[in-house]
Amino acid sequence: MEFEIQFSDITMLEANGSYEKVCKIMIADAEESGVASHKGEWMIRSRVTIMSPFGFAILICHFYNTGKVYIAEYLPSSKEANADIKSLTYWCNESGWKTPEPLPHVVDSWLAFWKSEWETYIVDSEYLDKKYGCRKEISFSKDEDEDENDDIVLDEDE
Protein backbone atom coordinates (compact mmCIF):
# COMPACT_ATOMS: atom_id res chain seq x y z
CA MET A 1 0.00 0.00 0.00
CA GLU A 2 1.29 3.42 -0.87
CA PHE A 3 1.42 6.21 1.69
CA GLU A 4 3.17 9.50 2.24
CA ILE A 5 4.53 10.73 5.54
CA GLN A 6 5.29 14.33 6.55
CA PHE A 7 6.72 15.98 9.67
CA SER A 8 6.27 19.35 11.32
CA ASP A 9 9.78 19.31 12.84
CA ILE A 10 12.51 20.95 10.76
CA THR A 11 15.19 18.42 11.78
CA MET A 12 13.00 15.51 10.72
CA LEU A 13 12.32 17.30 7.43
CA GLU A 14 15.99 18.11 6.83
CA ALA A 15 17.01 14.49 7.48
CA ASN A 16 14.03 13.09 5.57
CA GLY A 17 13.31 11.20 8.79
CA SER A 18 16.43 9.05 8.62
CA TYR A 19 17.49 8.10 12.16
CA GLU A 20 21.18 8.19 11.24
CA LYS A 21 20.90 11.65 9.65
CA VAL A 22 18.78 13.01 12.52
CA CYS A 23 21.45 11.85 14.99
CA LYS A 24 24.19 13.60 13.01
CA ILE A 25 22.21 16.84 12.87
CA MET A 26 21.38 16.72 16.58
CA ILE A 27 25.01 16.06 17.55
CA ALA A 28 26.23 18.90 15.32
CA ASP A 29 23.61 21.27 16.73
CA ALA A 30 24.53 20.32 20.31
CA GLU A 31 28.23 20.91 19.67
CA GLU A 32 27.55 24.21 17.91
CA SER A 33 25.29 25.50 20.68
CA GLY A 34 27.54 24.29 23.50
CA VAL A 35 25.06 21.85 25.04
CA ALA A 36 27.05 18.77 24.02
CA SER A 37 27.44 17.90 27.71
CA HIS A 38 23.94 16.38 27.76
CA LYS A 39 25.45 12.97 26.93
CA GLY A 40 23.85 13.01 23.49
CA GLU A 41 20.35 12.70 24.91
CA TRP A 42 17.59 14.41 22.94
CA MET A 43 13.96 14.13 21.96
CA ILE A 44 12.16 15.57 18.95
CA ARG A 45 8.43 16.18 19.18
CA SER A 46 6.82 16.27 15.77
CA ARG A 47 3.38 16.19 14.24
CA VAL A 48 3.35 13.31 11.79
CA THR A 49 0.85 13.29 8.96
CA ILE A 50 0.26 10.04 7.09
CA MET A 51 -1.61 10.25 3.81
CA SER A 52 -2.93 6.98 2.40
CA PRO A 53 -5.94 5.68 0.47
CA PHE A 54 -7.75 5.67 3.84
CA GLY A 55 -7.30 9.44 4.21
CA PHE A 56 -5.18 11.53 6.55
CA ALA A 57 -3.95 10.41 9.95
CA ILE A 58 -2.35 12.85 12.36
CA LEU A 59 -0.06 11.77 15.17
CA ILE A 60 2.18 13.49 17.66
CA CYS A 61 5.32 11.40 18.02
CA HIS A 62 8.36 11.70 20.25
CA PHE A 63 11.59 10.59 18.56
CA TYR A 64 14.47 9.81 20.94
CA ASN A 65 18.23 9.56 20.51
CA THR A 66 17.93 5.85 21.41
CA GLY A 67 15.84 5.23 18.28
CA LYS A 68 12.63 4.84 20.25
CA VAL A 69 9.45 6.38 18.88
CA TYR A 70 6.50 7.06 21.18
CA ILE A 71 3.02 7.88 19.91
CA ALA A 72 1.71 10.64 22.18
CA GLU A 73 -1.47 11.46 20.23
CA TYR A 74 -3.35 9.75 17.42
CA LEU A 75 -6.16 11.00 15.19
CA PRO A 76 -6.90 8.09 12.82
CA SER A 77 -7.78 8.39 9.17
CA SER A 78 -10.79 6.19 9.95
CA LYS A 79 -12.29 4.61 13.07
CA GLU A 80 -12.74 1.48 10.96
CA ALA A 81 -9.97 -0.61 9.47
CA ASN A 82 -7.02 1.56 8.51
CA ALA A 83 -3.32 1.17 7.86
CA ASP A 84 -2.10 4.28 9.68
CA ILE A 85 -0.03 2.56 12.33
CA LYS A 86 1.18 -0.18 9.96
CA SER A 87 2.42 2.59 7.67
CA LEU A 88 4.16 4.37 10.55
CA THR A 89 5.80 1.15 11.73
CA TYR A 90 6.96 0.29 8.22
CA TRP A 91 8.40 3.79 7.80
CA CYS A 92 10.11 3.67 11.23
CA ASN A 93 11.77 0.34 10.52
CA GLU A 94 12.87 1.41 7.03
CA SER A 95 14.27 4.70 8.35
CA GLY A 96 16.32 3.17 11.18
CA TRP A 97 13.93 3.86 14.07
CA LYS A 98 12.57 1.22 16.44
CA THR A 99 9.00 -0.07 16.28
CA PRO A 100 6.73 2.69 17.63
CA GLU A 101 5.11 2.46 21.04
CA PRO A 102 1.88 4.22 22.01
CA LEU A 103 1.95 5.94 25.39
CA PRO A 104 -0.37 4.46 28.06
CA HIS A 105 -3.00 7.22 27.82
CA VAL A 106 -3.17 6.67 24.04
CA VAL A 107 -3.64 2.92 24.55
CA ASP A 108 -6.37 3.47 27.15
CA SER A 109 -8.26 5.79 24.79
CA TRP A 110 -8.79 2.94 22.27
CA LEU A 111 -7.75 -0.25 24.02
CA ALA A 112 -9.20 -2.80 21.56
CA PHE A 113 -7.41 -1.19 18.62
CA TRP A 114 -4.04 -0.90 20.33
CA LYS A 115 -4.24 -4.39 21.81
CA SER A 116 -4.78 -5.78 18.31
CA GLU A 117 -1.85 -3.75 16.92
CA TRP A 118 0.32 -4.96 19.81
CA GLU A 119 -0.72 -8.63 19.49
CA THR A 120 0.24 -8.62 15.81
CA TYR A 121 3.61 -6.92 16.50
CA ILE A 122 2.69 -3.73 14.65
CA VAL A 123 3.54 -1.74 17.78
CA ASP A 124 5.47 -2.47 20.95
CA SER A 125 4.06 -1.52 24.33
CA GLU A 126 5.59 -1.99 27.75
CA TYR A 127 2.22 -0.94 29.13
CA LEU A 128 0.40 -3.78 27.33
CA ASP A 129 3.24 -6.19 28.17
CA LYS A 130 2.58 -5.50 31.85
CA LYS A 131 -1.21 -5.56 31.46
CA TYR A 132 -1.51 -8.79 29.40
CA GLY A 133 1.83 -10.56 29.77
CA CYS A 134 3.99 -11.84 26.96
CA ARG A 135 2.67 -11.79 23.42
CA LYS A 136 2.32 -15.00 21.44
CA GLU A 137 5.37 -15.70 19.34
CA ILE A 138 4.75 -15.21 15.64
CA SER A 139 7.12 -16.59 13.04
CA PHE A 140 7.68 -14.07 10.27
CA SER A 141 9.80 -16.38 8.13
CA LYS A 142 9.06 -19.67 6.43
CA ASP A 143 10.18 -22.79 8.31
CA GLU A 144 13.21 -24.40 6.71
CA ASP A 145 11.48 -27.79 6.76
CA GLU A 146 8.43 -26.49 4.89
CA ASP A 147 8.33 -27.12 1.19
CA GLU A 148 6.69 -24.49 -0.98
CA ASN A 149 4.88 -27.24 -2.85
CA ASP A 150 3.44 -29.08 0.15
CA ASP A 151 -0.12 -28.57 -1.02
CA ILE A 152 0.45 -29.67 -4.62
CA VAL A 153 -0.79 -33.19 -5.34
CA LEU A 154 0.38 -34.90 -8.47
CA ASP A 155 -1.81 -37.43 -10.22
CA GLU A 156 0.44 -40.46 -10.64
CA ASP A 157 -1.79 -42.01 -13.32
CA GLU A 158 -0.73 -39.43 -15.91
For residue 79, pLDDT beyond 60? yes
Phi, psi (rounded to 5 degrees) for 69: -130, 120
- Give how far Cα 112 sits from Cα of 77, 80, 118, 121, 123, Å: 17, 12, 10, 14, 13
Residue 157, pLDDT above cutoff 60: no
Nearest CA-CA partner of 84 in 93, 97, 75? 75
Q: List pLDDT tens digits, range 46-62.
A: 999 999 998 999 999 99
The pTM for the full model equals 0.84
pLDDT digits (tens, 9 = 90+) for 107-130: 999 999 999 999 999 999 999 999
The helix (run of H) or strand (run of E) holding residue 59 is strand 55-64
**Structure confidence at residue 131 as a pLDDT band (50, 70, 90):** very high
Radius of gyration of the chain measured on its C-alpha atoms = 20
Q: DSSP letters of 62-131?
A: EEETTS-EEEEEEE-S-SSS--HHHHHHHHHHHTTPPPPEE-HHHHHHTHHHHHHHHHTTSS--HHHHHH
CA atoms within 13 A on the CB side of 127: 16
pLDDT digits (tens, 9 = 90+) for 86-97: 999 999 999 999
- Per-residue pLDDT at 134 exceeds 50: yes
Q: How confident is the model at residue 37 (pLDDT cuts 50, 70, 90)?
A: low
